[in-house]
């Protein structure tokens, strides 16, 4: 029999609102303490146990998260739903291994939903276990023959497996069906676009991509507003972060001890960051973190508390006392180690995230010993690739809903890099994607030297290493294979669509020597 709650619904609602407000103002400890109070008062509330588990997970305390999620499963009236919800919470805080465990347990229960089976299929796909992925999808379709996400995943598996005609037939059949899931329908149009691109049917592919964009555009306004604010802040940093400021921060590195081995791998999305990360991560003296928010959330944001939202990044960083910078450094390495589940120790940490490009000044202030790796690729190929990716909506991806927006975002990100480059005192190096796919060893040996690590032959077998990991990047399928030159110059297939904005890309094309 369900235990009665020790708190009234109104009091429970008030406490949950307090927890939400504490989280919004980044008082994570207060959030957790409030939710712990709620579950003591209402111990049979599975939903709050799930939320508390998510809160612990987002603070990288995975044992505590698991304790709470297990409690939710025990007290929930329907175990299968609680297991599935626990798996979704794990995805939200980025622990895919835990998510898979809960989904697999849910799959053993009577009444499991097809969506859970599809999630397991997608997880197997990202680990390059395509036969296992197909089995999960087939099981989902046996339960619901018209399940949209399952049909989409099956078509994608056909494309990855080289069965292009089968993939196209599956997607076209899916798009004839009536279902209300706009994100899934948009992903289906993206998938069709990529299938058609593989067949050199470029005009048809572009038409499919535009259909996907049209479905997503009505939900993008708030994200685009946020992006406009970010681009404004980038322009402000270009004007305020001077050479003298960066030199002073660099010269102050002796006051921040111990110095750590850290390299930030940035550049615009779709420029080869994932490929370079996997090459480096295959080295035994290297550990990498892929596309986390830890540097922003745990190192920079605490420094900004107490400042108005309009305060400049320069004002925040200049005002930071050594004690606060030291705490940011310690928290960053602690949380990164917890997040990746690997001991960093004295190894070189590679923090790979294209979004870190605009945080270069923050890195230079908090980690003046850091080195920078910037992936470079033909800007025209970069913009086309971003435009073609089936990304969930967020501020950055909202720019990719049009070619014009994509080009403007590229100019903002890489324009900032070009502006900050002559001022930066930290060691940096640009690494060309085209050079990596043409001669991997010749292009990355200098990178190993730059990072002061010995050459290791495992770098040339990066694709084998990548298959052992669940990759977050849209490039997950490509980096589990040997390098290919197939994406070089791909933009020419869509030149007439890019033509109106090529002038804006021209300065970057010329600066990087792409002609």
CATH of the domain at 459: 3.40.50.300
SS3 61: coil
Instruction: Say if residue 272 is in the same domain as residue 210.
Output: no
- How far apart are the C-alpha atoms of 179 and 330, rounded to whole Å? 48
Peptide bond into 268 cis (omega under 30): no
Query: Which of 69, 92, 112 represents a domain boundary (last residue)?
Result: 112
Number of neighbours of residue 28 by Cβ within 10 angstroms? 16
CATH number at residue 198: 1.25.40.10
* Domains in the chain, number: 3
Residue with tokens 């940490």: 349
pLDDT in the model for residue 1:
41
Instruction: Say if residue 90 is in the same domain as residue 203.
Output: no
**Residue 346 CB contacts under 8 Å (≥ 6 apart), including other chains:** 261
Please choose, from the candidates 352, 389, 407, 396, the residue with its C-alpha nearest in 3D space to the C-alpha of residue 374: 352
Asked whether the beta carbons of 401 and 213 are under 8 A apart, the reply is yes
Asked whether the beta carbons of 158 and 184 are under 8 A apart, the reply is no
Instruction: Say if residue 406 is in the same domain as residue 274.
Output: yes
Instruction: Tell me whether strands 428-432 and 371-376 are parallel, antiparallel or unpaired.
Output: parallel
Instruction: Say if residue 382 is in the same domain as residue 260.
Output: yes
Instruction: Say if residue 106 is in the same domain as residue 117.
Output: no
- How far apart are the C-alpha atoms of 195 and 71, rounded to whole Å? 44
Asked whether the beta carbons of 123 and 99 are under 8 A apart, the reply is yes
Low pLDDT (below 50) residues in the chain: 1-3, 473, 476, 479
Instruction: Say if residue 373 is in the same domain as residue 467.
Output: yes
Instruction: Say if residue 266 is in the same domain as residue 373.
Output: yes
SS3 339: helix
33 φ/ψ sector (left φ>0, alpha ψ -120 to 50, else beta): alpha
Alpha-carbon Rg for the chain in angstroms: 24
- How far apart are the C-alpha atoms of 398 and 213, rounded to whole Å? 9
466 HSE (CA, 13 A, CB side) = 28
Asked whether the beta carbons of 339 and 94 are under 8 A apart, the reply is yes
Residue 17 DSSP symbol: H
Query: Which of 176, 201, 219 represents a domain boundary (last residue)?
Result: 219
Query: Which of 167, 191, 219 represents a domain boundary (last residue)?
Result: 219
**Residue 349 CB contacts under 8 Å (≥ 6 apart), including other chains:** 260, 261, 262, 263, 286, 287, 288, 289, 333, 336
Please choose, from the candidates 481, 457, 456, the residue with its C-alpha nearest in 3D space to the C-alpha of residue 467: 481
Instruction: Say if residue 233 is in the same domain as residue 375.
Output: yes
- How far apart are the C-alpha atoms of 235 and 411, rounded to whole Å? 11
Structure token pair of residue 44: 């049979």
- How far apart are the C-alpha atoms of 350 and 352, rounded to whole Å? 6
Structure token pair of residue 36: 């712990």
Structure token pair of residue 235: 């322009």
Structure token pair of residue 221: 């306004």
Instruction: Say if residue 492 is in the same domain as residue 376.
Output: yes
Residue with tokens 């997970």: 57
Domain around 283: 226-511
Instruction: Say if residue 196 is in the same domain as residue 283.
Output: no
Instruction: Say if residue 296 is in the same domain as residue 321.
Output: yes
Maximum CA extent, the chain: 73
Give the strands of the sheet with 371-376, arranged side by side: 286-290, 348-352, 262-267, 371-376, 428-432
- How far apart are the C-alpha atoms of 41 and 46, rounded to whole Å? 13
Residue 54 DSSP symbol: H
pLDDT in the model for residue 476:
46
Backbone angles phi, psi at 350, to 5 degrees: -105, 115
Backbone angles phi, psi at 95, to 5 degrees: -100, 90
- Going through 392-455 in order, the beta strands assigned E by DSSP cover 428-432
Instruction: Say if residue 118 is in the same domain as residue 181.
Output: yes
Sign of CA dihedral 136, 290, 225, 502: negative
Backbone angles phi, psi at 470, to 5 degrees: -90, 110
- In this predicted model, what pLDDT tens digit does every residue of 450-483 receive, in sequence order? 999 999 888 887 777 565 655 554 554 554 555 6
| CA 476 to chain CA mean position, Å | 12
**Residue 381 CB contacts under 8 Å (≥ 6 apart), including other chains:** 270, 487, 488, 489, 490, 491
**Helices and strands (H, E) in the chain, number of each type:** 27, 5
Peptide bond into 258 cis (omega under 30): yes
């Amino acid at each position: 029999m369900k235990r009665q709650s020790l708190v009234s619904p109104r009091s429970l609602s008030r406490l949950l609102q307090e927890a939400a407000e504490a989280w919004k103002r980044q008082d994570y400890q207060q959030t957790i303490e409030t939710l712990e109070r709620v579950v003591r008062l209402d111990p049979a509330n599975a939903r709050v146990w799930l939320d508390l588990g998510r809160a612990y997970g987002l603070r990288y305390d995975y044992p505590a998260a698991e304790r709470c999620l297990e409690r939710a499963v025990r007290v929930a009236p329907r175990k299968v739903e609680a297991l599935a919800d626990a798996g979704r919470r794990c995805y939200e805080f980025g622990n895919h291994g835990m998510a898979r465990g809960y989904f697999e347990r849910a799959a053993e229960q009577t009444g499991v939903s097809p969506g859970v089976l599809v999630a397991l299929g997608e997880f197997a796909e990202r680990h390059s276990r395509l036969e296992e992925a197909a089995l999960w999808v087939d099981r989902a379709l046996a339960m619901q023959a018209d399940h949209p996400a399952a049909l989409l995943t099956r078509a994608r598996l056909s494309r990855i497996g080289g069965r292009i005609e089968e993939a196209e037939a599956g997607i076209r059949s899916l798009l004839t069906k009536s279902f209300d899931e706009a994100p899934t329908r948009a992903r289906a149009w993206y998938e069709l676009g990529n299938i058609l691109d593989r067949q050199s049917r470029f005009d048809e592919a572009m038409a499919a991509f535009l259909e996907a964009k049209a479905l997503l555009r009505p939900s993008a306004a708030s994200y685009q507003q946020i992006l406009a604010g970010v681009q404004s802040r980038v322009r402000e940093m270009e004007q305020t972060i001077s050479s003298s400021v960066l030199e002073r921060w660099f010269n102050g590195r002796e006051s921040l001890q111990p110095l750590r081995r850290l390299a930030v791998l940035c550049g615009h999305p779709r420029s080869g960051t994932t490929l370079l990360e996997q090459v480096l991560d295959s080295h035994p003296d290297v550990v990498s973190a892929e596309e986390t928010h830890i540097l922003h959330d745990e190192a920079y944001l605490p420094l900004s508390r107490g400042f108005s939202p309009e305060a400049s990044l320069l004002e925040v960083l200049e005002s930071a006392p050594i004690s606060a910078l030291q705490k940011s450094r310690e928290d960053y390495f602690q949380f990164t180690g917890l997040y990746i589940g690997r001991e960093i120790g004295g190894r070189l940490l590679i923090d790979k995230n294209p979004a870190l490009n605009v945080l270069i000044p923050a890195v230079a202030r908090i980690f003046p010993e850091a080195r920078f790796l910037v992936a470079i690729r033909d800007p025209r190929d970069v913009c086309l690739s971003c435009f073609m990716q089936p990304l969930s909506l967020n501020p950055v991806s909202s720019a990719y809903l049009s070619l014009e927006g994509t080009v403007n975002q590229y100019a903002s990100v890489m324009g900032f890099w070009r502006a900050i480059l002559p001022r930066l005192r930290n060691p940096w190096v640009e690494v060309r994607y085209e050079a990596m796919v043409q001669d991997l060893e010749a292009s990355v040996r200098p990178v190993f030297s730059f990072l002061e690590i010995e050459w290791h032959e495992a770098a040339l077998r990066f694709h084998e290493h990548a298959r052992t990991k669940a990759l977050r990047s849209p490039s997950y399928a490509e980096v589990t294979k040997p390098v290919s030159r197939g994406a070089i110059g791909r933009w020419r297939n869509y030149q007439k669509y890019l033509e109106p904005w090529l002038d804006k890309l021209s300065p970057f094309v010329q600066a990087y020597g792409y002609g």
